[in-house]
Structure 1
Amino acid sequence: MGITINNISKSYKKVKALENISFTVKPGELFGLIGPDGAGKTTLFRVLTTLLIANEGTASVAGFDVIRDYKSIRKNVGYMPGKFSLYQDLTVEENLDFFATIFGTTIEENYDLIKDIYIQIAPFKNRRAGKLSGGMKQKLALCCALIHKPKVLFLDEPTTGVDPVSRKEFWEMLKRLQQKEITILVSTPYMDEAALCDRIALIESGKILEIDTPQAIVKQYPKQIYNVGANNMYQLINSLKEYKHNHSVYPFGEFVHYTDARSDFNPTELETFLKSKNLTNISIEKTAATIEDTFMELAK
């Protein structure tokens, strides 16, 4: 079963954390909630996992209403919060046993679900959770969230602060879990992870900017993007912002992603302008839009 959200709004005093949020997550879908820190991702997760009550709107998870059926939701979902929240003084095995007992099950009963993840942390089963590396903590937290075989899995920024190799391994694990018919809602500030989801919702300042497949969102980018490089990145960014025809200027790795306000953009004209600013080693080349580019454009 999936997730249905209808006009959810949540405020903290004068701050609107969520404003009229509506979307659905299909059963068995890997859905990404993509946005920067403070966008409202964690607040929405807490509403959906019955830890917060929205000011307005309705929502259901796995067919259960988040207000009326909160006890049923807690039995049928797994939740991995952004901050490591397991018992750090307990060992890996003790944490797993504890969470299995809470849900009236055992590690053995649902071992097939966590096997691929558990075998990676099994060598450390007698180590205290607080002494694990970031990647191992992440795997243990995921095991604990899955130990009762949930219908829906909520993962709030699960790869923040984790090394690139562990991030890659984690997403491979999510793909395997999806094959076991678990609906997964994952939030992340990393735009490159968005491409790994079936569909994504871009969120900024508590509002949904766009919902679609990653490929469809990238295709809707309205302009040609250029990779612009030069000998001095700081000076290059400032010079491009001074250029009267600029539409957008964003640093992107070793280049600056630049779009022009005109339809008949002339790279030679821009190069001449940059040379007048005493920049050297200038390069201007076409490049494809990314989800990050689309997000920045929609958020303008």
Structure 2
Amino acid sequence: MSQQQIQQRIQDREKEVKLLQQEVEAINHSADQTVKDSEKIFTEMIRLIQKRSCDVKQQIRSQQQTEVSRVKDLQEELEQEITELKRRDAELKQLSFTEDHSNFFLNYPSLPPLSESTHSSSINVRPLRYFEDVTAAVSELRDKLQDILREEWTNISLTVTHVDVLEPEPEPKTDFLKYSCQITLDPNTAHTHLLLSEESRKMTLMEKPQSDSNPSDRFTYHGEALSKESLTGRCYWEVEWKGYFFYIAVAYKNISRSGDEKFAIFIYVIYNFSHSIKQQIYTYMLF
């Protein structure tokens, strides 16, 4: 290696070191900002829950006062009625002790009439439950929030672990293998002229339709099929094939299943081999 080549390599490595240092600073800045934003969001969520808790508490207390006031008014009316009944009972008892019956019949009509009772029937005693339904509703809300947090926490954790950090481009095949993933084809998306075999890992183009069913996810124009697996982050897989040509692409799950334009189905065609090849080859793909 010449001195010029050594100096050039030194410059290249110094640039790489500088880029890596910038990457470290960017990671730290992004992490700090994300922690700050996350704390703010969680604080807002906690405040919202606390506010709703105060609202429920206030509503319960208000209803408590209303119900207690209603019951106390009823209790007071009943106590007044009891007092009046006791007074009338005492007056009748006093009159009953007189020996002059004519005097009894003379004085009885002069007694003041009893006030009409506002309660024609007895008070129904209900089970002492009252606000238990509120407790059940709040418990149900708690369970729903726990389910949502449990589900969303998985998504958040996956997002955190798939941070797009600068990594050196893999060169030898051994570097690619750490990103390898097993791909299986979804039969519900496969065109009717495609035959899936070997546990949906092999796809063969056939002259005649292979299925009479027509699921809504099936491709209807091009001979295509989607994988069952979703791809996130860096992914590497190998495709063994033989024949004249084929297309490999990365696409969204909800892409159109019909269309007569050559690339109307796949969002982006990665490889397009259109020359005749008789022998088997391997295609290495990394995204």
Q: Normalising TM by the smaller chain, what interval? A: under 0.3
| Higher fraction of strand | 1
TM-score (norm 1): 0.21
| Bigger Rg, which one | 2
| Higher fraction of helix | 2
TM-score (norm 2): 0.22
